[in-house]
Amino acid sequence: MIVLGVDPGLTRCGVGVIEAGASRRLSFVHVDVVRSDPEQSQDLRLLTIYQGLTAALDRFSPDVVSIERVFAQSNHNTVLGTAQAAGLAMLGAAQRGIPVALHTPTEAKMAVTGNGQADKIQVQRMVARILGLNQLPKPADAADALAQAICHALRPAGAIQGGEREEHLTQAQRQWAEASAKYGKHRGVQRDM
């Protein structure tokens, strides 16, 4: 299964692609950051992001697109641009008949580090470790996009499909499921729809 993760943003939009193979072994495929010029008008910036996202969708033909779920922040301009970029990723996927999953930043952090409050460097280090990379994925948007893809590939609901039984889950999948259940129960983590 090819998973394309998106860390949406108007200035920098992270795109990470992984492959979840047999026994849910994760392999690195690609990572990039689509950038738009803050000096350009909003419509042209959105066009740049859209073209970058659709180029990645066409190049890698993912089985699913995992997008960071947008949540309210103090900076409303940042939220607006992030939501617009997320919408472009959803649109591009829908146009190609590719399913979309939304995961919160907390879920992605928990999936890769076991800590929903992990900082950027922890996420970068664990993404590199999980995917066997020689260097940390940079900038943070790149690591966050890969974390989105990893989160979707390791999600407990997806790990038990097609007759698989729980004892076939990897240790990371079991830890993520346990931490997710505990953290979600006590902290109100949003789940996929």
Which residue, among 31, 39, 48, has the nearest Cα to 142 in the 3D structure? 31
Query: Of 68, 107, 119, 164, which one is the catalytic site residue?
Result: 68
Structural contact between residues 186 and 147, judged by C-beta atoms closer than 8 angstroms = no
Beta carbons of 97 and 120 less than 8 angstroms apart: no
119 is in an annotated binding site: no
Q: What whole-number distance in Å separates Cα of residue 189 and Cα of residue 173?
A: 18
Is 141 marked within a binding site? yes
Q: Say which range, 3-7, 108-112, 145-149, 169-173, has the weakest mean pLDDT.
A: 169-173
Least confident of 40-49, 56-65, 133-142, 172-181: 172-181
Domains, the chain, in order of start with CATH, read 2-187 (3.30.420.10)
Catalytic site includes residue 141:
yes
What is the predicted pLDDT for the residue at 63? 96
With a pLDDT cut of 90, the percent of the chain lying above it is: 68
Distance from C-alpha of 42 to C-alpha of 158, rounded to nearest angstrom: 37
> Where on the phi/psi map is residue 164: left (φ > 0), alpha (ψ -120 to 50), or beta?
beta
Among the residue ranges 12-16, 134-138, 146-150, the one predicted with the least confidence is 134-138
Q: How confident is the model at residue 24 (pLDDT cuts 50, 70, 90)?
A: confident
What are the φ/ψ torsions at residue 61 (nearest 5 degrees)? 40, 60
CA angle 83, 143, 156 (to 5 degrees): 80
Task: Determine whether 107 is an active site residue.
Answer: no
pTM (2 decimals)?
0.79
DSSP state, 117? T
Cβ pair 7, 81 in contact under 8 A: no
68 is catalytic: yes
> Strand 64-68 relative to strand 100-103: parallel, antiparallel, unpaired?
parallel
